Copies of this chain bind each other. A is one copy, B any other.
């Protein structure tokens, strides 16, 4: 190693090519017609010196930056990272770069991440709020400066528009399916994730409204709660049921604990998930689940950010999910759909 190379500036390219730096700028950006001879000379010099544009200088001068920031509560939730991946692809296509930052489930870090992105003059900000109440200040601060979209967790009364899955439709799809596959006399159980997040709350409420007769257990969005919920069902002496969960991770834990206890799935229990991205493939038998339309949601976010009109009041975009039938489904189409 011979040490680090200092970065080459336009000035140096200009000197090398014997032109002014504005000519270099124009040659590289192609912003203006110019003699082919000079352009080639400039491009060759840039190449020879290994010139790469300093985006800081450009952004400072242009007063804009084609970067969109994404702040996640953490990187460990597979649904969040699936969104990050998809959002990155959609933005890239539209000429934006996506930079992602984790709030580590900490409000202070989230706030600093917001102001750091704002201080970098990013074009827009997408936030999955860490906390549905306390994240509001940071969200509104961002919203005052750049187009800001909140995703997946809805912060009450925030100025920022919200994009998410239409949980009511998702639950309706599930309920229709549940009525088809549940044998007469067997109970239906809903294993939720509390009421702390808007997604969990909306799913739970929609379910309770449509199937008031169902037993409802509440926990959190993780595998361990699925394990515990399964044991709780068994402890209550339930030997067979259709179990609707509010996330695939819960379904996964529940299903494997039931199997470990010797229960047949889907023979004795039918387990239904929610999300359909990330971990849904892990389950065996394949999970029947509601698939969140991650791509459509990403496009909705792009739309809000590019067609941004600050005069329009903050809106809500709900994108409809669809049902993915797994091995728990008894219909022929279920197995066919999974292609196993």
Q: How far is the CA of A23 from the CA of B97 in the complex (A)?
A: 36
| In the bound complex, CA of A168 to CA of B151 (Å) | 43
B102 touches A159 (CB 8 A): no
Evaluate contact between A1 and B311: CB separation under 8 angstroms: yes
Q: How far in angstroms is the closest Cβ of chain B from A256? A: 4
A218 to B192, CA, bound (A): 39
Chain B residues, CB < 8 A from A284: 227, 253, 256-257, 259-260
Decide if A56 touches B121 in the complex (CB within 8 Å).
yes
The residue from B116, B227, B281, B314 contacting A55, defined by CB atoms under 8 A apart: B116
With an 8 A cutoff between CB atoms, is A60 at the interface? yes
Beyond known contacts A75-B100, A99-B100, A100-B101: 9 more, CB 8 A cutoff: A7-B118, A54-B60, A57-B60, A76-B85, A84-B102, A89-B104, A99-B99, A100-B100, A260-B285
- In the bound assembly, the distance between CA atoms of A282 and B248 in angstroms comes to 12
**What separation, in Å, do the CA atoms of A89 and B224 have in the docked complex?**
24
Is the pair B85, A74 in contact by a Cβ cutoff of 8 Å?
yes
Q: Mark A1-22, 1 if CB is under 8 A from B, else 0.
A: 1111101000000000000000
The answer, yes or no, to whether A156 is at the interface (CB within 8 Å) is no
Contact partners of A113 in chain B: CB under 8 A: 97
What are 21 A-B residue pairs whose CB atoms fall within 8 Å in the complex? A3-B311, A7-B118, A52-B115, A52-B118, A55-B121, A56-B56, A75-B88, A76-B85, A76-B278, A85-B102, A85-B104, A88-B101, A88-B102, A88-B104, A89-B104, A97-B101, A98-B102, A99-B100, A253-B284, A256-B284, A257-B284
Q: Are the CB atoms of A145 and B76 closer together than 8 Å?
A: no
Residues 33-74 (chain A) with a chain B CB within 8 angstroms:
52-57, 59-60, 65, 74
Docked Cα-Cα span, A115 to B75, in Å, equals 24
CB-defined contacts of A115 to chain B, threshold 8 Å: 52
A120 interface residue, CB < 8 Å from B? yes
Which one of A5, A54, A100 has the greatest number of beta carbons of chain B within 10 Å?
Answer: A100
Q: Does A279 contact B (CB under 8 A)?
A: yes
The minimal Cβ–Cβ distance linking A152 to chain B, given in whole angstroms, is 15
Closest Cβ neighbor of A65 among chain B residues: B56
Q: Which of B2, B88, B92, B121 contacts A54 (CB 8 A)?
A: B121
A149 at the interface (CB under 8 A from B): no
CA distance A211 to B160 in the complex (A): 59
